[in-house]
Structures are given as structure tokens and as C-alpha cells.
Structure 1
Amino acid sequence: MLIGYMRVSTTDQNLDLQLDALRGAGVSVENIYEDKVSGSKADRVGLNACLKALRAGDILIVYSLDRLGRNLQHLIQLINDLNKREISLKVLTGAPVDTTTPHGKFLFTVFASLAEFERALMIERVNAGLKAARARGRFGGAPFKMTIPKLKTLMALIKDKNLTVSEIGQQVGIKSTTIYDYVSPNGELRPKAKKLIQKKLGEIDQDF
């Protein structure tokens, strides 16, 4: 069965373009789920209902990848979960993802590997910087100020789960309570972090 999912960020935006594309791909209207909410939101009622409705052998069809995942890691997790459930994914525009074909599965494998490589490099750079700082006897520093790169680093370190939040705080020089002001224990953005992203980037879900 073909199942469709579509999303816009606000109630003012129109779903017609995505709806027409999904119907053109053969998805019946009764099998299309929707959300009118920012892509950064963890709880999306339409997406949750869509994922529950999918069964082995089904194909999930979306207009573009940015309609589906909150960020790169979330997107890869979603697709991996779909693969485990024997559910395929087809994206109609943008990145050529179609896991119904061997070529599409290969492209996604490369895609996921590059994301893992990027995350590993980020963690490696942080650890190398901390080691160099300790070697110079630098354990303090200027008052902490959260930035977008620092926020991404904290999210990556928390999700990596090799260090506790307390250990991350000790090494980076940030109080655990300050970390939790921005990032949840599972690495998700908190309202304070979203406010920072909106201020710096204009859109909550850019680059996340």
C-alpha cells in the first residue's frame, strides 16, 4: 500500500503542492497524513499516526526529505526503522531517495555513512581541543556563551552517550544545569535553544 505524509511549518502555509504530488504518485487521499507544525517539533501527531499505520511491504511517499525528519540524525533513524519494518521510502523531489530499488538503498547507505562520519569528526575535534587545553593547564576560560556550533557539539556529545552530561560539563567547562537549559538528556532541543536558533538563523529547523 502507498502511504503519504506531508507537512508545512505554519497554518498559513498551503499543502496543495504536496497533496497534488502525492496524489500524482498514486497515493489515495484517505492514506495521506499531514502536519502543520515546525519540522523541529519532536511530537508530530500526523507523522506519528502515519508511522503507526504503515505495515510491512508498504511504501511511504513524501514530497521532500525536509518534510519528514527534524534533522539529519532523526531522518536516518526514521529510515533505518522503516527498513527494519520492511517498509520502503520514496521521495518525490530533491535528494534521489527510493529504497524500493537497490540503487536507492545504496544511496541511502552512503548518505547515512556521511552523516555518521560528520558526527564522528565533530566529536574528535572536541576531544582533541579538550586534550590540548588540559595539556596547557587551561581548565577555566571566559564566561560561557551559547552559540550554534557549541549547541551542535553538545547535541552530538550527548547523543554519542560515551560521556555523561556531568562529564561533558566538566570537560567543556559548562554546568550540567546550563546544558539542560538548551538540550534534553536525549539530545533534543529545548525552547531556549530553539529561541537562539530562531534569533541567529531565522528558522528553527535550519541545519538541525
Structure 2
Amino acid sequence: GCTTLFQETAPGHRTHRVQLENALDALGPGDTLIVTRLDRLARSSRDLHNIVARIEARGASLKSLAEQWADTSTPQGRLILTVLGGLAEFERSLILERTAEGRARAVAAGRRMGRKPLITGAQHQEALRLAADNRTHLEISRILRVSRSTVSRFLARNPQD
């Protein structure tokens, strides 16, 4: 039979994936879409079910190489896919919930989230002093050995009186 390979390079969280659309559009009756893993195909069980519905509407089926049970050409495969897809989405929601709780605890404990500041405490005062002396952002950036845009962002967030 004919084999066509579609390879997506966009991240899975993107809503519009060109190669996935091309693969689904290329399916005809009796065709099988084979994926390496289900988590590479869909982001949630709802997404998976929508994709499977589109595949079946074209008279085709879905098979996963990593998950042998994921085979929509059989009633058992469709049932297992539905149940395990729901469990995976439930697990993902628990992970997101725990992550949010951990982040909230860290913030409550006074931990700063995100990247470390590019302008340190000593540079902070020096940048404000130099700006008060009407030095340009470029001059300040060279003195502090940081980029001009870092100085501009810092001074925009810390205006002088």
C-alpha cells in the first residue's frame, strides 16, 4: 500500500498544526493514521476524541505504535482509548493543580519566581543615581555592564522622582 509520512515540527500545545491537518485531509476510507505516541497527537482527551472523530468521519482508523491498545479499528480499542484518554486528562489536571499549589506556597513563603534580576542590588542604586545625573541609558548600560534594553526596562519599572 501507499505510505505518506507527515512530521510536525510545531510544539504540541499549538492549536493549529499544519502537518496534522495535512495528514487528516489525506485520509480516505480504509486508511490508517499511525502515530508514534498518542501524547504526540493530542493535548487532551477532548482533543484526542475530536481527532478520532475526524479520522472516523473519513472512514479511516487510528493506531499508535507505543500504545498497542490504541487501535480504533476495533470496538475494544475504541473503548480502551476512551477510558485511558479520560484517565490521562484527569492525571494532567491533578499535576496542574499540584503545580499551582506549590507555586502559591513558594510565593507565600517570599520566594521570587522567574529569572534572576539582571541588575543586582548594588547596580540598582547606581543605575538610579546615574539616571538622576542625566546619563543616557547607553552610558548607564556600559558602566553597569548590562544591555541598554535591560537598563531601559529597569528604569521604566523604577521611575525617579
- TM-score tier, shorter chain, comes to 0.3 to 0.5
TM-score with structure 1 setting the length: 0.39
TM-score with structure 2 setting the length: 0.48
In terms of fraction of residues, the more strand-rich structure is 1
Larger RCO of the pair (alpha carbons < 8 Å, separation 6+): 1
